[in-house]
Amino acid sequence: MAVFTPLSLEELTPVLEREFAIGQVSDLRGIHGGIENSNFFLDTKLPLSSSNQTQYEYVITIFERLSFEQVPYYLELMLHLANKGIPVPKPIATRSGGLAFSIKDKPAAIVSKLQGRPQLTPTAEHCALVGDALGKMHVAGIDFKLDQPNLRSMPWWKKTVPLVLPHLNENQRALISSEMEFQTQFFSSSTYSDLPAGPCHCDLFRDNVMFNEGDQAISLGGFFDFYFAGTDKWLFDLAVTANDWCLQSINTEKTAALHTESIAALLNSYQATRPLSETEKSAWPAMLRAAALRFWISRLWDFYLPRNAQMLTPHDPRHFERILLERRKPSANFS
């Protein structure tokens, strides 16, 4: 998350009063981190009496790249999942019943704020909780009626790679060109076409998951930041998650290999809800590579062709370059 479009209380208050019935704005704070949209914590209060007020917490997102026509897919998906009991932020409807509204000539939305905090150094227990919830999320999305492709899949890769190639050294150019050739063949194969698909988060990294952690127990607070979601292969969603959650070391300069216990916990808990087919298992190594390539390309793009924004820190693209090199090794088989 970041702030590309500054927003003040004075600018927001009349819009909220016109569009929503969520009380009076009491605080608005820009959110640091992420790279795509402008995000803010929003606090409101509903007066009950002069001495007793109820406080509410939300997140407001201003969409910087998505159009007014594209935004409904993401918000309707979140609402569908929330109504099925999946722990995700629930979009707040406007007075007219819509889920999006306009501010500064851009689409925006308000969603409920999840409780808990991210776990950036996860254990196998955290991975098991994530795998369980991701499997349930995929099953819950089977009857979701809207369809929108993952906007950061192969067509976007083919358009973006030529833009970043001039910034790469000879070895990096060879790597990205070789992997694009491999993935183009994989995406054209009968194996790939046979993989089951549906609504996917497509960006389920450690900083997009909340946990509630006490002295005795850990529980999942929920998934958020669905604004890279799309209809894609469920195995791709699982591979994206594995590549971030299940590393032997969070510092991939030491190793980008998968941690045996963590990947087993993720896959076993996921399959308790949605068992993988033999076709999916056979495609697992190629999909791990696809997931690594997708984020290497996007991080190269963000790093070398950045947009101006407050509170924006582009991620180091070398992280996913190392992960991709590791996943290309023959040892990256399904386990």
Give residue 330's pLDDT: 85
Give residue 53's pLDDT: 62
Distances 331 to 144, 217, 328, 335 between C-alpha atoms, Å: 36, 34, 8, 10
> 């369980």: which residue's tokens?
132
Span 119-129, mean pLDDT?
96
The predicted-structure confidence for 135-188, as pLDDT tens digits, reads as follows: 999 999 999 999 999 999 999 999 999 999 999 999 999 999 999 999 999 999
Give residue 47's pLDDT: 66
20-34, 98-112, 151-165, 293-307: least confident range: 20-34
Question: What integer best gives the mean pLDDT of the chain?
Answer: 92
231 has pLDDT over 90: yes
The predicted-structure confidence for 232-257, as pLDDT tens digits, reads as follows: 999 999 999 999 999 998 777 778 99
d(C-alpha 179, C-alpha 158), whole Å: 12
Whole-prediction pTM: 0.92
> 């993952």: which residue's tokens?
150
**Token code pair at residue 88:** 């995700």
Going from the N-terminus, what domains does the chain have, and what CATH number goes with each? Answer: 9-112 (3.30.200.20), 124-327 (3.90.1200.10)
Nearest to 138 by CA among 42, 22, 236, 27: 236
Angle between helical axes of 260-271 and 234-245 (0-180°, round to 10): 150
310 has pLDDT over 60: no
More confident residue, 89 or 334: 89
Question: Which pairing describes strands 197-200 and 106-112: parallel, antiparallel, or unpaired?
Answer: unpaired
